[in-house]
Amino acid sequence: MNSTKTWSGRFNEPVSELVKKYTGSIDFDKRLAQWDIQGSLAHAQMLCQAGVLSGEDLAAIERGMAEILAEIEAGRLQWSLDLEDVHMNIERRLTDKIGDAGKRLHTGRSRNDQVATDIRLWLRDQINIIQTLIQSLQTALLDLAEQHAETVMPGFTHLQVAQPVSFGHHMLAYVEMLGRDYERMADCRRRVNRMPLGAAALAGTTYPVRREVTAELLGFEQICQNSLDAVSDRDFAVEFTAAASLVMIHLSRLSEELILWMSPRFSFIDIADRFCTGSSIMPQKKNPDVPELVRGKSGRVIGHLIGLITLMKSQPLAYNKDNQEDKEPLFDTADTLIDTLRIYADMMRGVSVKPENMRAAVMQGFATATDLADYLVKKGMPFRDSHEVVARAVRHADEAGVDLSQLPLAVLQGFSSLISEDVYQVLTPEGSLNARNHLGGTSPEQVRFQTARWRRLLADAQAV
Ligand code: ARG
């Protein structure tokens, strides 16, 4: 008989070493220890209030758990694969310390509701960290937006120069994306923050548990209302990974832009040396490793989303061991996202902008062609006709190797007699920016308005 297993009473032979390794989770779930203990303490308090556990037993459990926590923090607790997972390791250590009271802790509980609770408690804390980090990245982007409200760069569609935009406006686009990411995390957190404890293995328990007491102690906003669902639901894990994937996709898109902008072909920005590396063979190289890795790591997080959603497909109710596979993807998703957000805020503070090069690129792409068409419309020409007139002017300027704003008035008037001296106000990139002065537009005034709006929103969020 294998006496080390808590469940080994009905077995005639111990599991093989291979099976032990294959089914054990201690190597990765030991990081849940702190939350496992938090859940156990609340469970024990509730049992005591319900008259299931004596006051002495509760006191012993609290003392034992405090010692175990200290041992874990000091790296002194010996984790054992024989004890399978974090729950049984901690319970055994407790029993070694306090005897029968330790054995009574698992009354009215199963590892099934226990592990679901641990994961939710852990994830709730990770989401708190992520939300704060999203806001500090937004702040770093807002600093850039404010500094560069007036900096013109080419806005692209199809990666072809389209119309001038403010670099600040471009940064604000990412502030908006991250704002939605924050909302998604907050929304996901509401469904994470529900308590499975009390569901026990799957059907509830015969003890007079008071779930609202445990929920209150653990700060859960809601209690899972169906015991079968409580132990088998991992929707929250899928939702979190989906929300995390979107953050990573947003940062992957920004990374792609930083990489392009830093290449000498663009030369729009530079990234501080501490975020770049050199080449072992090419002495001239300075590579944007951090954004490249962010782009790469987005694939890894998306992979976890696919992994988790596939994990849940076809699982009959209620708990199945499949669910043990939720942890590594979840842990890695949170770790990757937290590291990425942290380094990104830092890196954006190390971005220096080259406004002259951005402006030169605007001047090479006929970026104000639409402005000229709009100018003609305002003088009475139908838009389709003005589009045609401007296309001819662009062809002429292209052949002459100059920007539209560099064509003499007489030449421009050759394309339409509606054109007069004031045309040069709309042909400059600055004129083009200023003309788009409406909510959501790229004018410096709007950029400053949006920056101030976001600063207020972030300050309010911090205040609550
Ligand atoms: N280590 C397990 C997990 O992560 C804990 C739950 C085990 N429950 C069970 N009935 N085998 O899911």
Residue 164: what are its φ and ψ, rounded to 5°? -65, 140
What pTM was estimated for this model as a whole? 0.95
What is the chain's mean pLDDT, rounded?
A: 96
Instruction: Decide: 115 in ligand 1 pocket, CB within 6 A.
Output: yes
Q: What is the pLDDT of residues 242-254, one digit of tens each?
A: 999 999 999 999 9
CA atoms of 4 and 97, how far apart (whole Å)? 16
Residues of 56-81 as b/e, b for ≥16 C-beta within 10 angstroms? ebbebbbebbeebbeebeeeebebee
Query: The tokens of 12 are what?
Result: 């005639």
For residue 16, count other CB atoms closer than 10 A to its CB. 9
CA atoms of 77 and 55, how far apart (whole Å)? 27
| Runs of H (alpha helix) within 313-422 | 327-349, 355-364, 369-378, 383-400, 409-413
pLDDT classification of 9: cutoffs 50, 70, 90: confident
| Runs of H (alpha helix) within 196-234 | 211-218, 227-232
pLDDT at 116 over 90: yes
pLDDT classification of 10: cutoffs 50, 70, 90: confident
pLDDT at 7 over 80: no
Q: What is the pLDDT of residues 77-88, one digit of tens each?
A: 999 999 999 999
- Rounded to the nearest angstrom, the distance between the alpha carbon of 19 and the centre of ligand 1 is 15
Query: The tokens of 208 are what?
Result: 């007079």
* 3-state SS assignment for residue 164: strand
The pick from 324, 326, 328, 330 for probing ligand 1's pocket by mutation, whose C-beta has the most ligand atoms within 8 angstroms, reads: 324
**Please, which residues have CB within 8 angstroms of residue 71's CB and are 6 or more apart in sequence?**
77, 93
Pick the catalytic residue from 54, 263, 279, 420: 279
Q: What is the pLDDT of residues 202-221, one digit of tens each?
A: 999 999 999 999 999 999 99
Query: The tokens of 284 are what?
Result: 């001239």
Q: What is the pLDDT of residues 440-452, one digit of tens each?
A: 999 999 999 999 9
Q: Average pLDDT for residues 336-348, to the nearest whole number? A: 98
Which atom, in ligand 1's list, is nearest to the CA of 201? 10
Which atom, in ligand 1's list, is nearest to the CA of 111? 6
Residue owning the nearest CA to atom 12 of ligand 1: 324
pLDDT at 37 over 80: yes
pLDDT of residue 2: 43
pLDDT at 284 over 90: no
The reply to whether omega before 318 is within 30° of 0 (cis) is yes
Q: What is the pLDDT of residues 55-96, one digit of tens each?
A: 999 999 999 999 999 999 999 999 999 999 999 999 999 999
Question: Would residue 352 show up in a list of annotated catalytic residues for this protein?
Answer: no
Do β-strands 160-166 and 194-195 pair in parallel, antiparallel, or remain unpaired?
unpaired
pLDDT classification of 4: cutoffs 50, 70, 90: low
Burial class of residue 236 (count of CB atoms within 10 Å of its CB; 0-12, 13-18, 19+): buried
Amino acid letter, residue 151: T
Question: Would residue 87 show up in a list of annotated catalytic residues for this protein?
Answer: no
Question: At CA 224, angle to CA 130 and CA 45, rounded to 5?
Answer: 85
Q: Average pLDDT for residues 406-423, to the nearest whole number? A: 95
CA atoms of 19 and 140, how far apart (whole Å)? 49
The pick from 10, 15, 111 for probing ligand 1's pocket by mutation, whose C-beta has the most ligand atoms within 8 angstroms, reads: 111
Q: Average pLDDT for residues 30-39, to the nearest whole number? A: 98
CA atoms of 33 and 77, how far apart (whole Å)? 11
pLDDT at 344 over 80: yes
